[in-house]
Structures are given as structure tokens and as C-alpha cells.
Amino acid sequence: MRRYTFIIIAVAIFSIPQTNCRAVSPETSAILENLFRRILNTNNDNERIRLNDSVQVIIDSYAASDSVFVHKFSGLRYLGQILSSDSKVKIITWNLILREGGNRYFCYIIRKGARGEPNNIHKLIGENREESPAADRTYSEKDWYGALYYALQPFKKDKMTYYLVLGIDYGTSAISRKIIDVMTFTPEGGIIFGNNCFSKNENVTSRVVIEYFSEGVISLRMLSAKTVVFDHLASISGDQNSDPEFMGSEYSFDGYTLKKGYWRFISRVDARNKK
């Protein structure tokens, strides 16, 4: 079995050369699906890590390929792939749950290079934390808090392009988190998470973190390019307890809407499909 695993990974690597890649081998998607399925089916943490290392090898090569902005893997349930509407940034994410070591997040942020220049690839690895990402600070690649991103929207502030990202963090056994954050690129090519552009009740924060009961379902999505909506939270016990493990959906929506570079809080949003 180990020899078989080595062979299929080798095939994937050579099917996605580091440069001048015109197409991605159709077998690569099946190989990744097989690796993710085997990770899910084994209870041995060392085996999960070994299989995940193989996933990283494949995604390393894929992220560096010429096809990364025009290709998307189909049928992969455990690999997130999002492309910004300006087609300049792509994010690839997945997580690895370990029985003894918590939850690890893997994120590739690929920024399209200028004409004739290579793409810039940022590889981030994070772990779930007991504490929530702080609302009043910025993070970098080195201290990234860890999340699965599933939406990516460019917007302008002070004539600069920023990217709003929506993500989920399976924080603890009792609490999950949805995250609204802002990502930008420094002149030196680094990444900064967080920007003072979320305004609520005259308070301005760098990001929005929604914490709730881990077994609950809370939606967070883009209603339009300029509006984010999410479930209004209320105590699931019916009292005034506001601890996150007692919070769930009240079946109404709040949100943030973009005005002059700031995302401003709005209460009781009509989030119905306009059609």
C-alpha cells in the first residue's frame, strides 16, 4: 500500500510541473479525493499527518503552476477553492482534524503576478485556538489564526484594493466561529489580515468574529458585492446568557454594507433572494 501511495503521488507531481504548466492531469483530482478519503477513514494521527503531507506536495506544485488561475478541481468535497471577482487572487484551503492534536488549517493564497512576472504564493498553516481572533489587531502569515475561507470579495478603500474574506473556524468542542476579515498585500509582498474598516455603534474594529454553539448552524454569506449578511444570534436557552456556547440563530439577519471604504453594521436585513 505504501508503494502504491508513492506511485500515485509521483504521478500527480509530474503531472503538475512547477512551471510552464498548460493543463492539469485529470487523475490529480481523483488522487486528491482518494487521499482526503483515507485521511477521514483512518483513526491513526500519524497516518493522517503522512497522508496530509502528500496532499501538501500536490498542492505545492499546483499552486506554482501556470494553470492555477484557469483551472478548478471538480468533485473535491474537502478542498476549498475560491477566486476573487477581479481574478487576481485565488485561495485554496482545507483542514486536518487530529484525534489528539486538534484542528489544523492549511491555506494557499496566490496573487497573480504582473505581466511577465511569476505569481506570488503564500502558504499559511494555523491551528484552532481556545481564544478568538482579536477584533482590534492585525495578523500576518507568521501568526495567522487559522480558518477555512469560502468567500473573497475585492473592494476599494483610500484608492487601495483590499479583499474581504469570509471564513469558518471550528474553535473548540463547544464553540464554532464565523469570521469576516480583510486581507491586503504589503508593498514588500507580505499579507496583512485585519483593517479598521468595520463600523458598529460608533466602534471601529479590524474584523468581525461571530461565536456560537458548535452544533448550531449559522449562515454568513455575501448578499451582494457590497453587503454581507449573517444570522442574528440569540440565547438558545431563552434567557439572557450571552456566552458563545449558548448562542444560536434567531432566524433573522444582520449584516455589514460597504460605504466609502467602510463596512457599516446594519440590523434586521432583508436577506431574501431578490428574484
Residues 115 and 139 placed together within one structural domain of the fold: no
> Would the pLDDT of 268 be above 90?
no
For the chain, what is the domain count? 2
> Would the pLDDT of 14 be above 50?
no
Please write the tens of the pLDDT for every residue from 46-72: 999 999 999 999 999 999 999 999 999
Residues 140 and 70 placed together within one structural domain of the fold: no
Query: Residue 151 sits in which domain range?
Result: 129-275
| Final residue of a structural domain among 106, 127, 148 | 127
Mean pLDDT of the chain: 86
Residues 56 and 119 placed together within one structural domain of the fold: yes
The mean per-residue pLDDT over the stretch 232-261 comes to 69
Residues 113 and 137 placed together within one structural domain of the fold: no
Residues 97 and 152 placed together within one structural domain of the fold: no
> Would the pLDDT of 272 be above 70?
no
Please write the tens of the pLDDT for every residue from 16-36: 444 444 457 779 999 999 999
Kindly indicate the confidence band of residue 215, based on its pLDDT and cuts at 50, 70 and 90: confident
> Would the pLDDT of 270 be above 90?
no
Across 76-80, 170-174, 222-226, 248-252, least confident range: 248-252
| Final residue of a structural domain among 103, 127, 151 | 127
Please write the tens of the pLDDT for every residue from 73-113: 988 999 999 999 999 999 999 999 998 878 999 999 999 99
Please write the tens of the pLDDT for every residue from 238-252: 555 555 544 555 668
Residues 24 and 85 placed together within one structural domain of the fold: yes
> Would the pLDDT of 229 be above 50?
yes
pTM: 0.85
| Final residue of a structural domain among 72, 97, 127 | 127
Residues 150 and 238 placed together within one structural domain of the fold: yes
Q: What's the chain look like in SS3?
A: CHHHHHHHHHHHHHHCCCCCCCCCCHHHHHHHHHHHHHHHHCCCHHHHHHHHHHHHHHHHHHHCCCCCCCCCCCCCCCCEEEECCCCCEEEEEEEEEECCCEEEEEEEEEECCCCCCCCEEEEEEEECCCCCCCCCCCEECCCCCCCEEEEEEEEEECCEEEEEEEEEECCCCCEEEEEEEEEEECCCCCEEECCCCEEECCEEECCEEEEEECCCCCCEEEEECCEEEEEEEEECCCCCCCCHHHEEEEEEEEEEEEECCEEEEECCCCCCCCC
pLDDT for residue 246: 46
Residues 141 and 32 placed together within one structural domain of the fold: no
Residues 19 and 150 placed together within one structural domain of the fold: no
